[in-house]
Structures are given as structure tokens and as C-alpha cells.
Amino acid sequence: MTAMPSTPVLIDPFGRAIHYLRVSVTDRCDLRCVYCMSEDMTFLPKAELLSLEELDRVCSAFVEQGVRKLRITGGEPLVRRNVISLFQSLGRHLKTGALEELTLTTNGMNLAKHVDDLRNAGVRRINVSLDSLDPARFKTITRWGDLAKVMEGLSAAKAAGMKVKINTVAMRDVNEDECEELVAWCGAQGFDLVFIETMPMGDIDGDRTQQYLPLSMLRARLEQRWTLEPIPDVTGGPARYTRCTETSGRVGFITPMTHNFCESCNRVRLTCTGMLYMCLGQDDVADLRSPMRASEGNELLTAAIHEAIVRKPKGHDFVIDRRHNRPAVHRHMSVTGG
């Protein structure tokens, strides 16, 4: 077993321990969700992406510095060729005890065929983005999605004994009328459910001011039917959880717009090109690709990681620009990693 440090190594200027790294392995996706992307997207040239071996090296450097949780994201991570080999390689840190959790966020379209390999690599919990249980509406929201494929993936994950969390972006006049049904369905399936406010990131084919639904309003509506008791459960992310008395399921809320959750932020985000964002809602970025490629050893890379953490801000500045309909952050979520 690898001896773990008695105290976290990565501490930001506000005393927060950074032990969670979210890693985007690709900016590409096989869907075009209306709140995330325009339909006609221009993606990064594949030559600019870190190789899977380089992604493993950077992730491992973070693990050596005290990171205890790795989440693989995208875009859609399962569209990256041979991405399962990255999970298999990173799984070695689970075996030594250096890493507590290796997990995944996916749209579920390609999940069924990879579930067994993911479980064998050590993945025990996954997040699946699902904004509607109606096939026609699901296709409208995702533009290219097939709900049947997602349901097949969810069934496979459940059969494999994985814990599943459903992430639902709540949107006014789009899917807000389904939220009660989602609570019931997730409760019956044994899935956690987390509602997320739409975030002003990247230019999309639409008006975010029309999509935005404060979760305070949604929660008040849900509580007309369900009893939602606050609970202290945490899963490493920003969700605030409740327990639904009627279903016994957990229902969480992520509120980047109506309630800043930055005081407990424990995470940073690595892009598929080796850029590190210390905050999802800020544009400051640290280049980890150059120091990594400059030396066979990790001294320069480790120094760059520490220098970046010193620049981590206190919080994000998300705001919807209603006058000009401009995103607060111009990069798309798929670039940073959801």
C-alpha cells in the first residue's frame, strides 16, 4: 500500500484542500444538447489533444500530490478512441489506495457496451446526463439523441452493481413539467437525482434567458408533492442533497446562479489539451502540457500544478447577460469538462 500524506498537499489561498480532479478527455460529443452546444460545432484538431498516456501522466502527478478522486468527463468521454485503456491504467491507483474513487460522467449513449470494462477498471459510480424521459423531447433537447440507448446503458450499469446519479439540467418551458416524474422514476430505480441550473458558458443556438429556471422555484414546486428533507451527504461535488421521504431517494440541487457554492470547492479541471482551469466560472488557466513535455521527470509538471493552485480564486462570476444575451464564459462546457 502507498503511504498517504497525513495532510493534503494541495491547499489553495483560501485554505481549501484540492483533492478532486475532473479530466476532460475530449471536447467532442455525439449529442448537441441545446443548453451546451450549437448544432454546428467546430472541435479542436485531434493533434492538439493530449495522448491517453499523457493524460495518465498528468492525472498520476495529481494523485501524487494528494488528489483522491478522479472524474473522467468530456464532451462525451466514451467517444474517445481507446479511452477504456485510460481507465484501466488509472485503476492502478485504486489498487494501491492512493486514489479513493475513479468515476465517469457520460451521456449514456455508449455506456452499455463499456459497462463491464469500466467496472473491471475500478469504476463503481457514474453520472449520467438525462434531461427528459420522453423519447421525442429527449431528441429535441439533445438534437441527435436516442433515449432507448441511454436506458439500455442505465440498465446495464444497474445490473453491474454501479451506483448511478442522474444529472438533469432544469429548463423553463423545456422540461420543468417533468421534474416531478423524474423524482419518482429515479426513486423507483434506486438512482440519485441532481437538478442543475443552466450555466452561461459558450455561444449556443438559443437564448439562455428563456432557458433559465431558478432551482429555488423548482424545489418549492417539488415540495408541493414530495417531502424533501435536507441531509448532510456529500459526493465530492457542489450538490446540496435532500432525502425524498416518499421514495427514499436522494435529490440534489446544484445552483451556480442562485446560490454560490464556492466556499467548499475542492476541485480543479483539466482539459483534453493539458490546460488547467482552477475555476469553472473563471478564465484563468494554467498550461500543464508544456512543462510535462519539457522533461521526462515530473518536477516541472509538479511545480506548475502547485503554482496553479496558488491562483485558484475564491469563487466564480456566473451571470446571465440578459441585455446582450452573452455567455459569462465564452468557452463551452465541453472544453472545460462538465
pLDDT of residue 326: 52
pLDDT of residue 110: 97
Query: Residue 10 falls within a domain, yes or no?
Result: no
Sign of CA dihedral 192, 168, 157, 126: negative
User: The pTM is what?
Assistant: 0.87
Query: Residue 115 falls within a domain, yes or no?
Result: yes
Q: Tens of pLDDT along 199-249? A: 754 454 555 567 889 999 999 999 999 999 999 987 767 789 999 999 999
Write down the residue that cell numbers 489506495 correspond to: 97
Specify the 3-state DSSP secondary structure of 330: coil
Give the lowest-confidence range in 16-25, 167-176, 288-297, 311-320.
Answer: 311-320
Query: Residue 224 falls within a domain, yes or no?
Result: yes
Q: Has residue 135 got a pLDDT over 90?
A: yes
pLDDT of residue 206: 57
Q: What is the CATH number of the domain that holds 310?
A: 3.20.20.70
Quick one: cell of 207?
437564448
Peptide bond into 108 cis (omega under 30): no
Write down the residue that cell numbers 498520476 correspond to: 60
Phi/psi at 251 (5° precision)? -125, 120
Provide the residue range defining the domain that includes 83. Answer: 20-336
Mean pLDDT across 169-179: 94
Q: Tens of pLDDT along 63-81? A: 999 999 999 999 999 999 9
Query: Residue 73 falls within a domain, yes or no?
Result: yes
Query: Residue 8 falls within a domain, yes or no?
Result: no
pLDDT of residue 264: 73
Q: Tens of pLDDT along 280-315? A: 777 889 999 999 999 999 999 999 999 999 999 887
User: How far is 152 from 61, CA to CA, in rounded Å?
Assistant: 36
pLDDT of residue 252: 96
User: How far is 111 from 127, CA to CA, in rounded Å?
Assistant: 11
Q: Has residue 332 got a pLDDT over 70?
A: no
Query: Residue 51 falls within a domain, yes or no?
Result: yes
User: For residue 73, what are the β-bridge partners?
Assistant: 24
Residues 6+ apart with CB under 8 A from 64: 98, 298, 302
Mean pLDDT across 49-58: 98
User: How far is 208 from 198, CA to CA, in rounded Å?
Assistant: 8
Q: Has residue 325 got a pLDDT over 70?
A: no
Q: Which residue has the higher pLDDT, 15 or 235?
A: 15
What does the buried/exposed string (b/e) look like for 297-320 if buried means 16 or more CB atoms within 10 Å of the residue's CB?
ebeebbebbeebbeebbeebebeb
Query: Residue 290 falls within a domain, yes or no?
Result: yes
Query: Residue 50 falls within a domain, yes or no?
Result: yes
Mean pLDDT across 5-28: 87
pLDDT grade, residue 5 (50/70/90)? Answer: very low
Question: What is the percent of the chain with per-residue pLDDT over 90, rounded to a whole number?
Answer: 71
Mean pLDDT across 272-282: 89
Total domains present in the chain: 1
